[in-house]
Amino acid sequence: MTNIAQHTPRKRFGQHFLTDENVINQIVYAISPKPTDNLVEIGPGLGALTTQILPLSKQLNVVELDRDVIAPLQLACKDLGELTVHQGDILQFDFNTLIQPNNPLRVIGNLPYNISTPLIFHLLNYSDDILDMHFMLQKEVVDRLAAKPGKKDYGRLSIMLQYYCQADNLFEVPPTAFTPPPKVDSAIVRLTPYENPPFVANNKKALDDIVRMAFSQRRKTLRNSLKNAISSEELSALDIDPQARPETLSVEEFVRICNNLKE
């Protein structure tokens, strides 16, 4: 593994390097990489995960923003397997360039906390071509991804993620596992896109719009927050209480509203 002391973590990149070997081993075990996998790692940094996964996967694409860590990363991975580095901003990265016929992507990464939510929404655009995703995230974000209706963590991110994926909170990671230690607890989440979604929205953009509209004024009832899209009478006809608040509705109920919107 590359010596962390040789590199100053950059705050603007949200860099917290994973250094706890027990945690690294747990993550690798959860991912269970194989030589046939089409794996891509987001933000490999100095290679804490990369150096453990590459000997098992034999090949690995990585996307890294910080040019200064690329040479040390390549050196650390020398002779471990075929490493392909894509330098750039992951929020602008076109995952279509990595898609292979009949071999969906497996995406992994210790995600910078400041971009984790927009990055997950970016990846959902490619969900049809992704087998699974294993991410280290702020524990609070993982709680939101896996939250159920009626819980305080349940919101737009929960609904849109759970429309596309099964979310499993695998285990928590303390700040002491990183250099420098973040000020928050972390967790590992596995996101598995549905091959056959349990509920199908006629228009995914309309679903996102209606969920965004409902949660833009979270404390308001559906009757008020969705009044420009659907009437109280129409909600009642769908067996949805117009007086309900958005955080009490299931993914299926939001899909039902979406599929009954007038043009």
- In tens, the pLDDT along 31-65 reads 999 999 999 999 999 999 999 999 999 999 999 99
Question: Is the separation of the CB atoms in 62 and 41 below 8 Å?
Answer: yes
Question: How far from 44 is each of 1, 58, 63, 91, 195, CA to CA, in Å?
Answer: 12, 16, 7, 15, 28
What band does 15 get if pLDDT is binned at 50, 70 and 90?
low
* pLDDT value, residue 13: 44
Residue percentage of the chain with pLDDT more than 70: 94
Q: Does the pLDDT at position 1 exceed 80? A: no
Spell out a b/e string for 10-36, using b for 16 or more CB atoms within 10 Å of the CB, else e: eeebbbbbbbeeebbeebbeebebeee
Looking at residue 118, its pLDDT comes to: 93
pLDDT higher than 90, residue 249 = yes
pLDDT of 81 strictly over 60: yes
Phi and psi for 102 in degrees, rounded to 5?
Answer: 60, 25
Pairwise CA distance, residues 54 & 61, whole Å: 10
- Average pLDDT of every residue of the chain: 92
Whether 10 and 179 have beta carbons less than 8 Å apart is answered as no
C-alpha angle 212-191-254 in degrees, rounded to nearest 5:
30
Per-residue confidence (pLDDT) for residue 219, from 0 to 100: 85
pLDDT reported for residue 2: 43
Look at residue 61 and give its three-state secondary structure: strand
217 vs 90: which has the higher pLDDT: 90
> Omega of the bond prior to 33 within 30 degrees of 0, cis?
no
More confident residue, 31 or 3: 31
Contact yes or no for 39/106 (Cβ under 8 A): yes
For the residues 19-26, what does the mean pLDDT come to? 95
